[in-house]
Structure formats: C-alpha cells, structure tokens
Chain A
Amino acid sequence: MSGLTILTLFVLAAFVGVEVVSKVSSTLHTPLMSGANAIHGIILVGAILVTAHATSPVLIALGGLATLLATVNLVGGFVVTDRMLEMFSGGRRRPAEEPVGSDAR
C-alpha cells in the first residue's frame, strides 16, 4: 500500500471513530471504554503475523508472548464488557424506566 492510501484510511477511520461515539450517554462511558479496549486486542492479528515468519528461538518466544498478551486483551475484553452490560440491562429492564425508542432517532 502506498503511504497516501494508508494516510487516507487513517484520516477516514478517525472521522468514523469520532462520529460513532459522539452521542454516547454518560451511563455507557465505562462499557464503551471496555468495548473499545477489546477492539484494540485485534493486535492479536499482528502478533500472529510476526510469529508466523519468526525463525530464531528468541523471536518465536517473543512472538508467543505477544500472542498470549494480545489474546488476553481481546478475549478478556469482550467477555468483561458482556458481563458489564448483562448487569446493566438487568437493572434497566424495569417497565417504563426509560421510554422505548428514546434513543432511536
């Protein structure tokens, strides 16, 4: 990929990132942070790619370490976010607590 293509992707993704969370309600700050945290665990793909090509034992060991750490970030991140939201929706399911569709604009 050319540098300019990468820069274009970077700028466009930054705008999308700002746009999708711009209307978040303050009750969702922590789950949203946790969900975003899980998403950057996708560095696992990078860790797997560098480990795949490694030939010296030291680099293979470091690659295994990076893969392990990234897996903890990715898998743990999504599981803990789900648990947060499970409790969240449990408390919210009381009837008429929040008008249905208030956030569906």
Chain B
Amino acid sequence: MNVLPAGVADVLYLAAAVCFILALKGLSSPRSARRGNLVGALGAAVAVVTVLLSTDFAGANLAVVLGAVGVGSAVAVPAARRVKMTDMPQLVAIFNGVGGGAAAVVGIIELAEWSGAAPTATATSATAFAILVGATSLLGSLLTFLKLQGTMTSRPVVVPAAGPLMVLALVAGVGVGVAVAVTGNVWLGVVLLVLGLGLGALLVLPVGGADVPIVISLLNAFTGLTVAASGWAMSNTLLLVAGTLVGASGTILTLAMATAMGRSVTGILFGALRGGSTAG
C-alpha cells in the first residue's frame, strides 16, 4: 500500500531512530530499563507500519510479507514467553543469529534484483559486507546456542590447522567480497555466504563455555554492523542509524563484559588456537 508520502515516511523513520536511542539509554540504568525496552518496541512498531504503508507491493507480495510476519510472531512470542530464566542467553543467541541470516538473505536478493546493474560500487561493497558478516553471525550464533544448550560440548573445539584455516577463510572472504563489490554477481554472493558460514564456525568452535556470553555479545555487534551495511546499500537511514547504534554499543558492551569477567576479547577468540585454553 502506498498511502504515506515519502516525506512523512522519512519523518516516522526518524522518530523510530530516536526511540531506539532512548531505548539503549533507558536500558543502561536499572530504574528505566523496562520502560526503555518498551520505547524500543514502540519505535520498531512505528517503523514496520511505516514501511507497510509507504511501499508499492508487486502482485501478491503484501500477502507473503504479512504471512511471514504472522508466522514469525507466532513462533517468537511463545518461545520468548515460555523460556526458562537460565535458558535466556541461548534464546538471545538464536534471535541474533536469525537476524544476521535475514540481513545476509536480503543482500543476496538485492544482488539478484540489481542483476549486475547496481546503483553504485558503494552499494555492492556494503551488500558484500552484509552477506559475509551476516552469515558469520548466523552460524556463529547457532553454535553458541548449541554450546550453551549442552547439545555439543562446551569445551573449546580446535579443528586441525584451525589457525591457517581461519586465515585462509578470511583471505578468501575478502577476495570474494571484493569480486562481489566489483561485479555484483549473485552467484559469487552465494559463495560469499558459504564462506561467511565457515568463518562463523571457525570463530566460535574454539571458544570455551564460560566465555560464550561474551562471544554472543560480539556477534550481536556484528549483526548490528551488518544491518548498518544493509541500510547503506539500500539508502535507508533507519537501518543505517539503528544498525550503527547496535554495532557501536554492542562493541562497548562486549569490552565491558570481558573486563567484568577479567578476560580479554582476543584471548577468548584466539586463546585456544595459540594453545592456551579459554575458560570453560
């Protein structure tokens, strides 16, 4: 439905971005935390209603969108309502992972819709970043879930030659990412997605159970930056601002959590690779 003029939609997006800033501010202090979270939810509701009312939908796509939102809510609300207090961190990890996955899929769709005729090289670069880091966040978060849930061992898992593999995957990720940025080829984008999944596994497998919450926070910051990159690619200020807010605050929060536990982030990520164990 395209009933809202673009100017009105932009103002509503700005209001949503302000709600997100107030939400993070509120969540930083015990007395305002709950209200802060509700302000954030209000901002999200405003943004979603705005996009539904200000966009032209082709064919029956509006029905697809509304159906997906309905099913997603029907899955997420009971899961979040019924989860035990002790299981909340892994549920947050799942939510973070699917957010990263959504951003990666959005990137793939963009490449396909542009089909080699992307608006700018900046747009394809940002899309490549979103696909790679979104996929890293997706598989990394799912593995942190399995570790906390006890489905897989919470001890550090070091695959043979993990260090060189990590370097190889990073170099390949950057190389294919540049190729995607230059060509805008959607199949290279799919290769990039697979490389991102591999990076996520290599990043999280060597982390011990006690350090997992810090890694979830780091992957949360990753997903934030992924969303910012999507906003960059789509010229959408709300995605850009909200994603950057989460990327920046998530990084600070990760460092604060590591300091509170007397750990260093590099020690957590690479300790097991160097032979020292990561707590767990």
Which residues of chain A have a CB within 8 Å of any CB of chain B? 1, 3, 6, 9-10, 13-18, 20-56, 59-60, 62-89, 92, 98, 103-104
Q: Tell yes or no: B260 within 8 A of A by CB.
A: yes
B242 within 8 A of A: yes
Is A6 within 8 A of B240, CB to CB? Answer: yes
A88 → B minimal CB distance (Å):
7
Decide if A51 touches B64 in the complex (CB within 8 Å): yes
Contact B227 A46 (CB under 8 A): yes
Query: CA A70 – CA B109 in complex, angstroms?
Result: 15
Give the residue of B58, B213, B226, B237 whose beta carbon is less than 8 angstroms from that of A30.
Answer: B213
Task: State how many angstroms separate the Cβ of B133 from the closest Cβ of chain A.
Answer: 12
Interface-centre pick from A14, A22, A46, A63 (highest chain B CB count, 10 A): A46
* Residue pair B249, A21 in contact (C-beta under 8 Å): yes
Given the known A-B contacts A38-B44, A80-B91, are A17 and B98 also in contact in the complex, defined by CB atoms under 8 Å? Answer: no
Known contacts A29-B257, A80-B83: A49-B236 contact under CB 8 Å: yes
Tell me whether A89 and B34 are in contact (CB under 8 A): yes
Please name the 3 residue pairs, one residue from A and one from B, whose CB atoms are nearest each other, closest first: A71-B72, A17-B248, A76-B76
> What is the bound-complex CA distance between A14 and B109, given in angstroms?
27
Contact of A73 among B61, B77, B102, B242 (CB under 8 A): B102
| B65 in contact with A48 (CB, 8 Å) | yes
Q: Which of B41, B76, B109, B244 contacts A66 (CB 8 A)?
A: B109
One of A3, A21, A52, A92 near B57 (C-beta < 8 A): A52
- With a cutoff of 8 Å between Cβ atoms, the chain B residues found around residue A43 in the complex are 99, 102-103, 106, 226-227, 230, 239, 243
Report yes or no: B85 in contact with A39, Cβ–Cβ below 8 A. no
Q: Is B8 an interface residue when CB atoms closer than 8 A count as contact?
A: no
The one of A28, A59, A80 that contacts B109, using a Cβ cutoff of 8 Å: A59
CB nearest neighbor in A for B217: A33
Chain B residues in 8 Å Cβ range of A53: 56, 58, 113
B256 touches A48 (CB 8 A): no
Which residues between 65 and 99 of chain B lie within 8 Å of chain A, taking CB atoms? 65, 67-69, 71-73, 75-77, 79-81, 83, 85, 88-89, 91-92, 95-96, 98-99
Q: Which residues of A contact B120 (CB under 8 A)?
A: 3
Beta-carbon contacts under 8 Å, B216-257 to A: 216-217, 220, 223-224, 226-228, 230-232, 234-253, 256-257
